[in-house]
Structure 1
Amino acid sequence: MSCSAPAALFDDLPDAPGVGGQADADDLARFFDVSLDLLVIRDLEGRIVRVSRSWQTALGHSPEEMRGAVLLKLVHPDDLRATLDSVGEVENRKPGDPVLGQINRYRHKDGSYRTLEWRAQRFGDRVYGVARDVTDRVAAEQTLLDAKVAAEAANRAKSDFLANMSHEIRTPLNGVIGIVDALSRTPLSDEQAEMVGLIRSSGHTLERLVSDILDVSKIEAGQLTLECRPFDLEEALEPLAMIRARAEDKGLEFQVRRSPEARGVFLGDSTRIRQVLGNLLSNAVKFTAEGAISVWVEVWSDDPEGRGEAHRLALTIEDTGVGFGSAHAARLFDRFNQADSTITRRFGGTGLGLSICRSLVEMMGGEIEARSTPGAGSRFRFVLPLRRAASLADYDAREMDTASAVLPDAGRPLRVLLAEDHPTNQRVVQLILASQGAEVIIAANGAQALAAFRDGAFDVVLMDMQMPVMDGLSATRAIRDLEAATPERARTPVVMLSANAMAEHREEALAAGADSHVAKPITAASLLAGIEAVIGG
């Protein structure tokens, strides 16, 4: 078919208002000749009525040889089903429906395939379509996608490697630190004591580095998870006491100010809050040679009248240290970056700490910011959303009861079996019960608790719910089974200690055979009241 095809070919084309006839046909013929896009008109049986000259340029098929052919025969077999669906959509599209696109592959005359992107519309018994060759674009997009997948795989491999290496390094490192600590307790000359001190300091620095690398690898791999449990705000603020001592040893003034509402029991991950606070405080001490470090602890209620549970914890650390300029502030929280390249040489460090702080704060739904003036100090603040687990009134009432709380008088020291895997929690219970003269036997998991119970007699068992090897529920059931098998043995009260404070958790504890449930974080009042409730006066 020549470019000057008979006008009858276009008899079915809709006329524009006020225009029609041979002039329109000639205009459309010229349009078909000059179009770089691929134009096609087909009937409802799929046979080609007319195509533009650009088909020959793009796919090697001349308009003359394509006339009357079935267009679908050029479609790649793998794309045929989707193409048929698209054909049905075009032919049955109702007025006002959106014009949907289609991307598929068409066979070139040389046997290769090109990727085309289509738009089509039906008018009467004709379908008018326009396609564009997007082979190169699709190939480029696929290349980018493949590169992204490869980069993510490489990043995962790197994170896994760092995590594995960190674990492997930590084992012998803990041995080194432990042996050096034991060595420091033996008689040493002044020179030897100094060398041991240097080894211990270097070991702790290396341990911090390994921990940072492990945290970074977990964050990158999406394997770092947050806890959500009740905690006393004092638990999250533990670094204040430790850093105060370091600051005062360095001759720095250390000030802490707290808002009246900055107390109570909240829901969240106190370990990670403590980690962020400790890191920022450590940096403040490290980068401050003289002057002061000031800390503001504030709790803001999201309810203007302060009656709701939703709050925000704001921790601000300000120092009079070396500071940094605005040009460095933008990349301060980037991984492996520090405000100034001389920082590493002067103070050491990897540049991981602030990056980890930002990641942790953002994971907890908060924000962190830094402001500074070179030579005049820095100010860091992070704000976290938190919910109170108990009202301030309840918290204050419980704290007031602490001083007067005592264990029932049994005429002898009470023997208490504590099943708890966390060293800090073990120590808290020990300190509370030591003031009451109780004897505390500690088991690090449910299996150890069961073995200790089998071999000894106790007045009460304090059982953590979640422990490795054997959890508290399983251990409690095993204790009750052991008692049932030895009728001559009196029933021993079991108090479940758990951060799981929901009603169903208390029901699970009672169903397993526990006599009572005390929610963490425990206080002297709550623990002693829980013991008194099960053993009486």
Structure 2
Amino acid sequence: MTQTTHHESLAEDISAFFDVSLDLLVIRDIDGRVLKASRSWFTKLGHRPEDMEGGPLLRLVHPDDMPDTQKSVLEVQNRRDDDPVMGFTNRYRHVEGHYLTLEWRAQRLGDRIYGVARDVTERVAADRALVEAKAAAEAANRAKTDFLANISHEIRTPLNGVIGVVDALARTPLSPDQAEMIGLIRDSGATLERLVSDFLDVAKIEAGQLELERRPFDLDQTLRACIEIMRRRAVEKGLTLRVEGLDAAARETGGRYQGDGTRISQVIGNLLSNAIKFTAAGAVTLRVRTEPIGDETAITFEIEDTGIGFDADHAAGLFSRFHQADASISRRFGGTGLGLSICRSLVEMMGGEISAASTPGVGSRFTVSLRLPPAPLEPADEPRDILAAPIDSDSAPLRVLLVEDHPTNQRVAQLILATQGAEVVTVNDGLEAIDAFRAATFDVVLMDMQMPRMDGLAATRALRALEARSGAARTPIIMLSANALTGHREQTLEAGADLHVAKPITAANLLAGIQAAVG
């Protein structure tokens, strides 16, 4: 075959290749003029190859894409042999006037540029739609979180009134019938508060806003309160609540760990509550085992009951949200079906595992396994008993500035503080708090977080600024907040508050907070 024949054959092959290619092929010279274009330019963009040849290719580029396209042209022309082939995306005009998005690959050989482009208009549109959908979903999620924070405040504010007033009323002389009615109201209020907390926990978990603490805690003390509450509930049903291994665990490992003791107590309390709920007769047993493993301690909790149990079909969805075994279970026992889902999320966030086994009609066993680093007992770290007791007042009564806009919440705090003989000055918002703070001296400030005109965070910062300017001693500030989402506690501390006490307010948590702040 002669040299001429070889070149003719190669040219024919290239022409045939250009005719059948679905991609957009083009050969141009160094000045940008089209030397050859594939038939697909007509198929995709309506431009005939013979009309394109001899003219500039860039005349078809969208004006907004021209600056970046020029940069890409220079990159191709100056590319060295060992440089990677860079991709580029821009828009080319269809013969009817609209634009398609093309993704390019190009390479220089001698004084010619060989390029291939693919129509990615639908892919780019789909990617853009996905980004927009993600942004919309994130915005909706933020809106949902904000809504839950607000609705939490709205629910907890009247709930604070119910629980607080009932708690204060329970401390007055009552007949047996009245005491029984007060007890029923208090238990119902506590149940409602737990339901609100469950919904908020789920919202925080979904939004990725639930954060675990990592600080020293005593396992025995952490669990003791919830165990005693569950023991009383078990006795009311005629059940026995046994606790095995907790004291031995404390002796073997010192009983102190680094982690979120509050959330561990929530998990164990929830599992004990479920066990008692679904057990009509017999016993509920909590077993605790510990085993040192390297620098950590493996802690295993087993909650076993003699209740109704569940079968394998129901076990599969046991830790799913809103799961109930069946409609009859929901009617007989109530509940939202969120408790076990929250337990699973919390345990997994701690790096642990939770599992369940059961025999219908015989009972169930839930197992929680955690690994936590031990925390040495240090003098500054020893826990203080700040549960509600009469506030020490050696001489003058405690002077309290109460900053709260809701009349019922004002009255709740006043009733609780009246039992301690405190002198209470009540104002309705942050601006009034600043005036009162200028005019008098207080032992402690109880500051609501959400108020009109000036909220609790702004007011706290203003009070701290007043102290700094006048050189006055620091007055303890306790933030009282119905807001329960992650970050509120941190916000209060950053603003200058000393403690954050979540509503609903009871005598126990309010007086304990005051004791902790005033010392």
TM-score (normalizing by structure 1): 0.66
Aligned to 2:58: 72
> Partner residue of 1:270?
261
Corresponding residue number in structure 2 for 1:299: 290
Question: Aligned partners of 2:29, 2:330: CA distance in 1, in Å?
Answer: 74
- Please list, as runs of the form range in 1=range in 2, the aligned pairs for 1:456-495 lying within 5 A after superposition: 469=460
Q: CA deviation at 1:327?
A: 3.5
After superposition, the Cα gap between the structure-2 partners of 1:200 and 1:77, relative to the gap in structure 1 and judged at 3 Å, is same
**Aligned partner (choices 92, 97, 103) of residue 106 of structure 1:** 92
Cα separation, partners in 2 of 1:358 and 1:482, compared to 1, 3 Å: closer
Q: What letter matches 2:174 in structure 1?
A: P
Q: Which residue number corresponds to residue 231 of structure 2? A: 244
What amino acid sits opposite 1:319 in the alignment? D
**One-letter amino acid matched to 1:156:** R
1:154 to 137, 140, 153: 140
8 A Cα contact 1:324 1:374, kept in partner: yes
> Where does residue 347 of structure 1 map in the other structure?
333
CA contact (8 A) 2:352 2:368 kept: yes
Q: Confirm or deny that 1:217 pairs with 2:203.
A: yes
Matched residue SS, 1:90: helix
Q: Secondary structure at the match of 2:275?
A: helix
Asked whether the 8 Å contact 2:322–2:336 carries over to 1, the reply is yes
For CA contacts below 8 A with separation 6 or more, give which structure has more relative contact order: 2
Distance 1:213 1:451, change over 3 A: same
State the distance in 1 between where 2:205 and 2:289 align.
28
Separation (CA, whole Å) in 1 of partners of 2:400 and 2:313: 50
How many angstroms does 1:53 deviate by?
0.8
Aligned to 2:49: 63
Deviation for aligned residue 1:425:
4.9
SS at match of 2:321: coil
User: Residue 358 of structure 2: SS of its match in structure 1?
Assistant: strand
Cα distance in 2 for partners of 1:80, 1:371 equals: 66
Among 202, 212, 218, the alignment partner of 2:188 is: 202
Q: Determine whether 1:254 maps to 2:242.
A: yes
| Contact residue 235 and residue 270 of structure 1 kept, 8 A | no
How far the C-alpha of 1:357 sits from its partner, in A, is: 2.3
1:314 alignment counterpart: 300
Residues 335 and 352 in structure 1, CA contact (< 8 A), matched pair in contact too: yes
Preserved contact between residue 219 and residue 359 of structure 1 (Cα < 8 Å): yes
2:10 matched to which residue of 1?
Answer: 24
- Structure 2 residue runs without a partner (length 5+): 402-436, 445-458, 475-519
Matched residue SS, 2:107: strand
User: Residue 289 of structure 1 aligns to which amino acid in structure 2?
Assistant: A
SS at structure 1 position matched to 2:364: strand
Deviation at 1:317, TM superposition (A): 2.1
1:426 and 1:442 in contact (8 A); partners too: no
CA contact (8 A) 1:231 1:268 kept: yes
Query: Which residue of 26, 30, 33 corresponds with 2:19?
Result: 33
Cα distance, 1:128–1:241 mapped onto 2, change above 3 Å: same
Distance in 1, matches of 2:465 and 2:351, equals: 35
Letter in 1 for 2:125: A
Give the drift of 1:80: 2.9
1:86 has 2:72 as partner: yes
Equivalence for 2:120: 134
Q: Any idea what SS the aligned residue of 1:246 has?
A: helix
SS at the partner of 1:267?
Answer: strand
8 A contact 1:443–1:452 mirrored in 2: yes
Q: Which SS does the other structure have where 1:350 is aligned?
A: coil
Asked whether the equivalents of residues 160 and 217 of structure 1 are also in contact (C-alpha less than 8 Å), the reply is no
Q: Which residue type is aligned with residue 352 of structure 1?
A: L
Q: Could you tell me which amino acid in structure 2 is paired with residue 68 of structure 1?
A: G
TM-score, normalized by length of structure 2? 0.68
**Contact map agreement 1:104 1:115 (CA 8 A) in 2:** yes
Summarize the Cα distance change of 1:387–1:475 in structure 2 as closer, same or farther, 3 Å threshold: farther
Contact 2:222 2:261 (8 Å CA) reproduced: yes
State the secondary structure of the residue aligned to 2:373: strand
- Say whether the 8 Å CA contact 2:292–2:298 is kept in structure 1: yes
Distance 1:368 1:443 in 2: 48
- How do 1:312-391 residues align onto structure 2 when only pairs under 5 Å count? 312-390=298-376
Q: 5+ unaligned residues in a row in structure 1: which ranges?
A: 1-7, 12-18, 403-421, 454-467, 484-537
Structure 2 vs 1, CA of residues 481 and 138 (structure 1 numbering), >3 Å: closer, same or farther?
A: closer
1:380-409 deviation per Cα after TM superposition (whole angstroms, max 9, x unaligned):
33334432231xxx67xx8xxx9xxxxxxx
**For this pair of structures, how many residues does the alignment match?**
416
Contact 1:256 1:295 in 2 (8 A): yes
Asked whether the equivalents of residues 303 and 367 of structure 2 are also in contact (C-alpha less than 8 Å), the reply is yes
Q: Indicate the structure (1 or 2) with the bigger Cα radius of gyration.
A: 1
Match for residue 170 of structure 1?
156
Provide Cα deviations, 1:139-193, integer angstroms capped at 9, x if missing partner: 2232233223222222221221122111111111121123334455543464x55
In structure 2, give the amino acid aligned to 1:82.
D
Specify the code of the residue in structure 1 equivalent to 2:230: I
In structure 1, C-alpha distance between the alignment counterparts of 2:469 and 2:267, rounded to whole Å: 40
Match of 2:271 in 1: 280
Q: Give the aligned residue type for 1:247.
A: A
Separation in 2, partners of 1:193, 1:481: 46
1:115 aligns with 2:101: yes
- CA gap 1:254/1:131 in 2 versus in 1, 3 angstroms: same
For the structure 1 residues 389 and 189, does the alpha-carbon distance in structure 2 shift closer, same or farther, using more than 3 Å as the test? closer
- Provide the residue aligned with 2:386 in structure 1: 426
Given that 1:299 and 1:313 are in contact with CA atoms closer than 8 Å, whether structure 2 keeps it comes out as: yes
Alignment identity in percent?
Answer: 56
Offset from partner CA, 1:116-146 (integer Å, 9 cap, x none): 1222333333222222212122222322332
C-alpha separation between the residues in 2 aligned to 1:196 and 1:452?
32
